[in-house]
Amino acid sequence: MLLLTGLPLVVGQVSEICPHQVHGVYDYENPLDASWLSAYDVKSYELELRVSNENTLIDGYALILVEATRSLDTLVFELQDGLEVSAVNLDDKQLHFEHVSDAIYINLERSFEEGELIQVAVYYGGDAGQDRGFFAGVSSRTDYQYGFDVTYTLSEPMNAFDWFPVKQVLEDKIDSVTFRITCGPGLLAGSNGILVDVTEDKGSHTYTWKTSYPMAYYLLSFAVADYRDFSFYAPLSDENDSVLVQNFIYNSDEVLADLQEEIRMTAPLISSFSQLLTDYPFSGEKYGHCMAPMGGGMEHQTMTTIQDFNFFLVAHELAHQWFGDHITCGNWQDIWINEGFASYMEFIAAQELLGQEKADEWMNNAMSIALRETTGSVFVPEEDVEDTYRLFDMGLTYKKGAILLHMIRFILDDDHLFFTVLQSYLEQFGSGLALGSDFQAILEAESGLDFSSFFQQWYYGEGFPRFKIYWQQLGDTLRVRSEQSTSAPEVTPLFQVPFELEVILAGGERKRIRLMQNKEQEEYLLPMQGRVEDLRFDPDNYLLETSSVIQEAPVDKAYRYGPNPVSGDMFLQYPNAGPFETIKITNMAAQEMLTLKYLENPAIMDLSSLADGSYILEFSNNYGTFCEQIVKVTSE
């Protein structure tokens, strides 16, 4: 349980503390020569910055502790050229440095050997703002709805260098950070970890945040605005254990009234995810939100920056605390490890808290978006890895990425096993990095199944399958023929995948049949008692696919009818045609005994009132007029 006690309250705070409620094979090509950045391991930061909520000007220093991983006499950090470095110190002694091409090259004056610790202080300042759109390292904007000015960071994937000296390498998580943020009167500044101190000096406030969990470089953050603190606790998997949910929302009664109910949904989301996965991974500190007019959210570790509190947005960013923050993709090509998993947790959140109907709506929308991507893989090709918009492609990375997990869940056909896989994955790779291949290994170890074809086709491959399902009932046998083509045949000519059929029988009975497609055409002969009225493909929408289901007519006729002889109801169907315009029953003297108009196709007619004997069944539709001789008999 996290206990936040003894800290000063801030102006405008709303505090509700209630116990028991409570993002491979290939490496990203860094612009710097890899030898510079591989020479040390980042241990900790002590960061102190003065910031404003009205501009992107920053001023301060970064005290950075690193450990040499080999002999080095030059220490290199990335920092954009738009910021001016005034000094670099080591043990209070100024060092010679060069700041060029968005990097600082620091002459250490002697060689440090493997294992030695080096702590340098970099003093810098200037305008950190860059015209990078949504992915700018630092932005300062006015919220269009409520009118509050906010300055906030968003460093993913490679823009942390916009505002602090950094090693932008995923493999090197920062062990701990102490971050002192100074801002003007009436403002609050949020960041990662725990708020351990608030001091005031000449009207300005300094907020000291401290985090001791390993953290990827792009997850360090700040946001500053006229905020108020609206806090409560969320229970974890054990309702006797809880975590603080600390929300920095705009300092307005209107905002609180508008958003309070949505914000409170964070608590049941944390509880649900903790029960299904593992406990919230940063429970020793907090989870929280800083509002900012960013048009979405960013999963900064323990303190998400967020536009609003839409249920699915909150669920997605919260899920990143497990998938993206606790486990971080080991390579930007495997961004699925972050975004695909967090996206699927939106669906699971809806299942758990909103009901299956809302979850199905989410999945239907995800499918429609993913189906627009007829080519392209979830795994990001090496040549596209520096294209930010390809990394965060909505159809491939987010929606198709989520659907891959949905299909894995379908293949396992065991929810307990599915969540056991996720739990084992989190336990083995938590606080570190993982690739898509790492998840595959966990999946195979837990399930005992071979998923190599699945990953080759669905993760590294492109497109999706297109099914045509033909069916015909032959007495007590249902014949099904499945023909598959794909949207990207040059790359992925076949998806070997199980699928499910729902057989709808006369009288309303429904049966589920699971089949496996291993080649482009498969035929299945299935025992079937009762008359089949219809067939549905993938009834629960588990597969990313397009499909059509076609009932095949008997070999000698385009329609079917029966039984013949008939005693009561007669069934008439013309597959793949429109409704019947007319249906007539005439006796052998050409007298009309029954005339029906505009019947649905198939049609059911009650002939029990006819006398025993022979009759002519005549019917017409958009294909023409057809006749058959039928016999009426008395039911025994």
Two tokens, residue 405? 């997990």
**CA 524 from centre of chain:** 35
Order of all β-strands in the sheet with 510-517: 510-517, 497-505, 532-537
pLDDT score, position 4: 27
Distance CA 25, CA 22 (A): 41
Pairing mode, strands 546-551 and 465-474? parallel
Distance CA 193, CA 181 (A): 13
pLDDT score, position 17: 26
Angle between helices 436-447 and 336-353 (to 10 degrees): 50
pLDDT score, position 20: 25
DSSP state of 489: T
> Would you report the helix, strand and coil content of the chain in percent, each value rounded to 5?
20, 40, 40
Distance CA 242, CA 12 (A): 25
Main-chain phi, psi angles of 594, to 5 degrees: -155, 130
Two tokens, residue 235? 């229970």
pLDDT score, position 173: 98
Provide the mean pLDDT of the chain: 92
Q: For 480-516, write each residue's pLDDT tens digit.
A: 999 999 999 999 999 999 999 999 998 889 999 999 9
| % pLDDT > 70, the chain | 94
DSSP state of 271: H
pTM for the full predicted model? 0.85
Q: Which domains, from first to last, does the chain contain? A: 14-22+24-252 (2.60.40.1730), 343-459 (1.10.390.10), 465-551 (2.60.40.1910), 560-632 (2.60.40.3080)
- In this model, does residue 455 exceed pLDDT 60? yes
pLDDT score, position 9: 27
Two tokens, residue 297? 């959210």
Distance CA 353, CA 245 (A): 18
Question: Which residues, in sequence order, are CB contacts of 604 under 8 Å at separation 6+?
Answer: 569, 570, 571, 572
Query: Which whole-number Å values give the CA distances from 288 to 189, 248, 317, 407, in the listed order?
Result: 13, 8, 10, 32
Residues 93-106 as b/e (b if ≥16 CB within 10 A, e otherwise) read: eebebebeeebbbb
DSSP state of 174: B
Residue 257, exposed/middle/buried by CB under 10 A (0-12, 13-18, 19+)?
exposed
Q: Specify the range with the lowest mean pLDDT, choosing from 78-82, 153-157, 336-340, 560-564.
A: 560-564
**Residue 498, preceding bond cis, omega within 30 degrees?**
no
Contact 510, 530 (CB under 8 A): no
pLDDT class of 29 with cuts at 50, 70, 90:
very low
Q: For 199-241, write each residue's pLDDT tens digit.
A: 999 889 999 999 999 999 999 999 999 999 999 999 999 988 9
Query: Which whole-number Å values give the CA distances from 480 to 432, 504, 521, 539, 603, in the listed order?
Result: 48, 14, 11, 16, 23
Q: For 346-398, write each residue's pLDDT tens digit.
A: 999 999 999 999 999 999 999 999 999 999 999 999 999 999 999 999 999 99
Contact 601, 619 (CB under 8 A): no
Strands annotated E in 92-203:
93-94, 97-100, 103-112, 117-127, 138-142, 149-153, 176-183, 188-191, 194-201
Beta bridge partners of 182: 50, 206
| HSE-up (13 A, CA, CB side) for residue 78 | 20
Residue 213, exposed/middle/buried by CB under 10 A (0-12, 13-18, 19+)?
buried
User: What mean pLDDT do residues 43-58 have?
Assistant: 98
User: What mean pLDDT do residues 187-198 have?
Assistant: 98
Contact 207, 246 (CB under 8 A): no
Pairing mode, strands 57-68 and 97-100? unpaired
Query: 551: closest CA among 622, 487, 486, 501?
Result: 501
